């Protein structure tokens, strides 16, 4: 999956926060502070669909978009890509662990102590 640009990220964040699929108009309304044109948002959503970031359903004449991945799945994908791109995954992972908070470290310990079935 290809990475997201700034506007694509903003659109995905809206879709991830939404309880239901969103139309182009609803996404545009959610980004009203950016002063975007309807066609710009429609193009971004079409590009996200082509890149397989979103699925869409047509109801009447309107397309409704929803994310294919949840935000947590996207974050995990980014973490995997960072480790894979590193010349030293061990050093990269160690640096990451050194920088997490005490609460995050405790959560990691708990998760590592669970079996896959318990997660």
Quick one: tokens of 89?
């995954």
Calculate the CA dihedral of residues 48, 52, 54, 59 and round it to 10 degrees. Answer: 100
Helix (H, G, I), strand (E, B) or coil at 22: strand
pLDDT digits (tens, 9 = 90+) for 2-39: 678 999 999 999 999 999 999 999 999 999 999 999 99
pLDDT digits (tens, 9 = 90+) for 67-105: 999 999 989 988 888 899 999 999 998 999 999 999 999
Please list the residues that pair with 23 across neighbouring strands: 64
Closest to 4 measured CA to CA, from 36, 40, 52: 52
Please list the residues that pair with 54 across neighbouring strands: 67
Quick one: tokens of 14?
């809206």
User: Could you tell me the pTM of the whole model?
Assistant: 0.77
């Amino acid at each position: 999956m290809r990475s997201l640009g700034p506007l694509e990220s903003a659109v995905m964040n809206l879709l991830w926060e939404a309880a239901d699929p969103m139309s182009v108009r609803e996404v545009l309304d959610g980004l009203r502070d950016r002063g975007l044109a309807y066609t710009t948002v429609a193009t971004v959503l079409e590009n996200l669909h082509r890149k397989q970031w979103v699925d869409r359903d047509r109801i009447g004449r309107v397309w409704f978009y929803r994310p294919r991945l949840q935000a947590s799945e996207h974050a995990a994908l980014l973490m995997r890509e960072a480790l894979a791109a590193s010349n030293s995954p061990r050093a990269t992972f160690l640096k990451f662990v050194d920088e997490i908070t005490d609460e995050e470290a405790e959560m990691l310990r708990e998760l590592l102590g669970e079996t896959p079935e318990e997660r």
